[in-house]
Structure 1
Amino acid sequence: MSGNKDGDGGWATFVWNSEKKEFLGRTGCSWFKIILFYVIFYLCLAGIFVGTIQALLLTLSSYKPTYQDRVAPPGLSHTPRLDKAEIVFSMSKNDTYVKFIESINALLKPYDDNVQTNEMKFEHCGDAPQWYVDRGSLENNAGQRKACRFSKSLLGDCSGDDDPTFGFKDGTPCIIVKLNRIVNFRPKAPSGNQSLPEALQGKVQPNLIPIHCKNKRQEDEGKIREIKYFGLGEGFPLQYYPYYGKLLQPQYLQPLVAIQFNVTLEQEVRLECKVYGANIDYSEKDRYQGRFDIKLTVNS
């Protein structure tokens, strides 16, 4: 068989057969037809791919996620926040809490009054909790929307204005709490006192999402001396919602609540904080859904 190949010219003849005018076993006409077939075939595939992408893009909004079924609103987060949600420091050693101060300062930097002076971007939304501020629908082509001002001075003793250590040097540390941003989400105030803890009974203000912290463990109840809350109404006012997203509200400032703890020294205290609203739920699988817990140890 190999002799026949050699007699036929072998590979040189297969590459170019001068008698039959074939290149790699095909004539020019055959090559033209097969190349034309694959060009048309892949152009059709590309057209189908581009068409499906364009059809998908027509269903998507530039301003909000189309599918939010995996989002469990809202998350509650705090600063400073560590991996193990544990805050341990000594009052007499500032190097043990300087990292906490730095994280709080970084969070509050956009809340300085001199950053919120642009009248085209910010507006005053009242000195007390009010109803939602309606700035139109997401898709009405009205351009960027204004955002409500929120001054860090509303955080009182935890603003850093009078005490740059946010209470850490005195053993009464502050944490800053916020509801995570979700586009077009409107938190609803509690509909009644049934779902509220005893400490909030009769104290709830209208147009406000209240927050409350208490001991996580029964044995820690006697270790908590006092818990103070600072902010506009000491909760999350409704006029700061809904959030219109980074494209329409890049300057948006979500409302903050500062919580100052005074606990027994040299003792680990487990604390749990929750927000209360008609459309706010909690999950055992997600410890930051509508709540969080921290371990706090204040040493001398």
Structure 2
Amino acid sequence: MTKQQQKKMPIVRQMSKQDELLSAQAQYFLRLDEMKLTKKQRAMRFIWDPKTSRFCGRTKTSWTKIIIFYLIFYGMLAALVAICMWVFFQTLDPRIPKWQLDSSLVGTNPGLGFRPMPTDNEESTLIWFQGSNQTSYMYWVDNILSFLDNYYVPSKIAKGNGQIKPCSHSDYPEIGQVCEVDVRDWGECNRDQFFNYHKNSPCIFLKLNKIYGWTPDYYDDPYDLPDEMPQGLKNHIASLNNTKERQNIWISCQGENPADVEYLGPMTYYPRYIQGFPGYFYPYMNAEGYLSPLIAVKFERPIPGIVINVECRAWAKNIIYSRSERMGSVHFELLID
């Protein structure tokens, strides 16, 4: 090291110490100025400091860098999520569920539903009306009409390549075809007659819940029917000569208790020649334009002024029935004033 360099060394150290003192002094006075400010002034200075041209503690350059960073970061994150979702949806079919029958949450035991249902109380199953009061019975008529809208105008759901055809037990639908639900088969249970609510002979519509790929195991042998099946239904099955015409999911309705049986009175099922859901509607394969078959039950002369407990049951060998758990059946009450 030369003498000249050695002479310069102390000068550099002395200037460095002087800078430190000046910096400390400046910080001290800045703190004094800060202490003199009110909370509002400090907040305003944090938002915009005209001395340092800082906005919320950052300069323009700093804000530019951080904005660019997060734009790139979240852009890449969104792209990664989009790619993962695209790959995931490639494994799914919009019409075919991945989990079916026993491997699905729905299972293999279809439930039975009814319409109309009360809309003001989801837990209620009471159908209560007065046939002489138009406001009273039109509430239920409108409820049914809303449910049957697609059945009266099936073109609303038949889109794309969906083909609707009249089916029979000798003419099953082919792949891509669905069976027509003919509203004329409901006889007196039609909208022109207000579903007979104004005559105190209400029509109730029954529907079996859809399970993809489920095929019913029919009671198609009149000599091999369960003992608990109503005798009227047994007689109806025996009256059908063709084995294919017996390939239906049968329906029976009756009062839950002996008193309810007496109060309920006679009833008529529509379509009258089946008394059930025709087998050519199954299995359900989520085809375009498919509509579940319906059974209309007309209660001819229920006793007015009494709450009547009604149970309707679906009959097939692979439909498990349990009254306590409401499996394979549906319960509702009728009250006609």
User: Do the structures match in fold with TM over 0.5?
Assistant: yes
Contact 1:264 1:298 in 2 (8 A): yes
Whether contact under 8 Å (2:269, 2:296) holds in the other structure is: yes
% identical equivalent positions = 26
**Mean CA deviation greater in 256-265 or 54-63:** 54-63
Structure 1 residue 193 corresponds to structure 2 residue 225? yes
Q: How does 1:245-260 map to 2 (within 5 A)?
A: 245=286, 248-250=287-289, 252-260=290-298
**What residue number does 1:94 align with?**
134
Q: 1:92 to 1:13 in 2, by over 3 A?
A: closer
Cα distance in 2, alignment partners of residues 2 and 269 from structure 1: 95
CA contact (8 A) 1:132 1:238 kept: no
1:262-273 to structure 2, matched below 5 A, reads 262-273=301-312
Give the structure 2 partner of residue 74 of structure 1.
110
Unaligned runs of 5+ in 2: 1-23, 35-48, 238-244
1:249 offset after TM fit, Å? 1.0
- Where in structure 1 are there 5+ consecutive unaligned residues? 17-23, 136-144
Counterparts of 1:52 and 1:113, CA distance in 2? 40
Once residues 39 and 298 of structure 1 are traced to their aligned partners in structure 2, the CA distance between those partners, rounded to angstroms, is: 67
- Deviation for aligned residue 1:43: 7.0
1:57 to 75, 89, 105: 89
- The count of aligned residue pairs is 273
Task: Kindly provide the amino acid, as one letter, of the partner of residue 93 in structure 2.
Answer: S
The SS at the match of 1:157 is: coil
Q: Amino acid of the residue matched to residue 75 of structure 1?
A: G
Match of 1:226 in 2: 266
Q: Does 1:292 align with 2:324?
A: no
Matches for 1:150-169 after TM superposition, within 5 Å: 150-160=181-191, 164-169=193-198
Q: What's the counterpart of residue 283 of structure 2? A: 242
Aligned partners of 1:130 and 1:207 also within 8 Å: no
Name the CA distance, whole Å, in 2 between partners of 1:113 and 1:188.
31
Relative to 1, partners in 2 of residues 1:35 and 1:111: Cα closer, same or farther, differing over 3 Å? closer
Amino acid at match of 2:180: R
More helix by share: 2
Supply the AA of the counterpart residue of 2:281.
Y
Tell me the secondary structure at the aligned position of residue 313 of structure 2.
strand
Q: CA RMSD in A?
A: 4.1
Instruction: Give the letter aligned to residue 181 of structure 2.
Output: F
Alpha-carbon distance in 2 for matches of 1:39, 1:169: 66
Instruction: Write out per-residue CA displacement over residues 154-206 of structure 1, whole angstroms, 9 at most, x where no aligned residue.
Output: 11222345xx1322232221111122334443333237412752333354352
Q: Output the CA distance in 1 between the equivalents of 2:50 and 2:132.
A: 89
Aligned to 2:201: 172
Distance 1:223 1:203 in 2: 23
TM-score (normalizing by structure 2) = 0.64
* 1:100-159 CA-partner distances (Å, limit 9, x unpaired): 22223334444449969x997321212xx4585341xxxxxxxxx332222211112223
By how many angstroms is 1:44 displaced?
A: 6.7
Query: Could you state the TM-score of these two structures normalised by the residue count of structure 1?
Result: 0.71
Please, which of 275, 299, 319 is the counterpart of residue 280 of structure 1? Answer: 319
Aligned mates of 1:110, 1:96 — CA distance in 2: 25
Instruction: Give the Cα separation in 2 of the matches to 1:134 and 1:14.
Output: 79
